[in-house]
Amino acid sequence: MISAVSICFSGGCINIFNLYNPPDSNAALTALHSWLSTHPPLDTTSMLWCGDFNKHNPMWTSSKYLDCCQRSDSEHLLELIASHNMVLTILPATPTYQSDAHQTWSTLDLIFSQSTIQDHILSCDISLSDHLPSSDHLPVHTILDVTTHRAKRLPPRNFRNVEWAKFGSSLQTQLDLLLPDARGSQADPSSSPLPDARTPSIYMLDQ
């Protein structure tokens, strides 16, 4: 009844739960509540719930079908939404399900997300062009922006093209500046580590 996947990127992780909740049942909702109770999300993790919830409620049902809301027990779902700070992402009254018996449309396929990922949701809507044959549900397409920005990579230094005579002269100059009295004398083992005179000379390789 539930499948899940985690998408991690530079902004954190998004846990996506896809649910099928059978009609006149809270089975998937109870399973989701149980999982989240024993595996609470981290501060860097956000959630998105999607799927066929088989629930009617004025929050997402068209005003034409308010009588369906009276016959649908959505209290458990509303409690889950409130306790995890979820918000309805798909537009209310979006037709997602067509009743074969009455040839009427209703909103049973829902998308809920936390406010922490609202900026990453580019779109959330039904796709009429992708309607599967003989299916009484329309697919809902949700597009997330989880772009990962790569760190800028500096080009490596090319040691093959070093002018070694120039490099040696620069290195000697740095040594003379750092250790003006050390030429020809033996280093004291108890002294602090010698400054690295190679760095200014190596910078020459970038020029």
CATH number reported for the structural domain that contains residue 122 in this entry: 3.60.10.10
Mean pLDDT (the chain, rounded) = 83
Q: Are residues 81 and 124 in the same domain?
A: yes
CA 96 vs. chain centroid, Å, equals 26
Task: Give a yes or no: residue 193 inside a domain.
Answer: yes
Cα 72 from Cα 74, distance rounded (Å): 6
Classify the C-alpha dihedral 59-65-66-69 as positive or negative: negative
Q: Are residues 181 and 138 in the same domain?
A: no
Q: How far apart are the first and last CA of the chain?
A: 62
Strand partners, 143: 123
Q: Are residues 68 and 100 in the same domain?
A: yes
Residue 36 banded pLDDT, cuts 50, 70, 90: very high
Task: Give a yes or no: residue 201 inside a domain.
Answer: yes
For residue 108, give its domain range.
Answer: 2-144
pTM of the shown model: 0.68
Q: Are residues 9 and 111 in the same domain?
A: yes
pLDDT in the model for residue 191:
53
pLDDT in the model for residue 186:
54
Residues 106-141: tens digit of each pLDDT: 889 999 999 888 888 999 998 888 888 888 899 999
Cβ count near 77 (within 10 Å): 25
Q: Are residues 16 and 118 in the same domain?
A: yes
Task: Give a yes or no: residue 153 inside a domain.
Answer: no
Task: Give a yes or no: residue 151 inside a domain.
Answer: no
Q: Are residues 119 and 17 in the same domain?
A: yes
Q: Are residues 115 and 61 in the same domain?
A: yes
Give the mean pLDDT of 73-91.
93
Length of the chain as a residue count:
207
Residues 84-97: tens digit of each pLDDT: 999 999 999 998 88
pLDDT surpasses 70 at 27: yes
Strand partners, 126: 140
Cα 159 from Cα 205, distance rounded (Å): 7
pLDDT in the model for residue 172:
82
Q: Are residues 140 and 60 in the same domain?
A: yes
**In this structure, are residues 124 and 88 in contact, taking their beta carbons and an 8 Å threshold?**
no
Task: Give a yes or no: residue 120 inside a domain.
Answer: yes
Higher pLDDT, 109 or 156: 109
Domain stop point among 95, 112, 144: 144
Residues 188-201: tens digit of each pLDDT: 555 555 555 555 55
Q: Indicate the number of domains in the chain.
A: 2
pLDDT surpasses 60 at 182: no
DSSP annotation of 179: -
Q: Are residues 181 and 140 in the same domain?
A: no
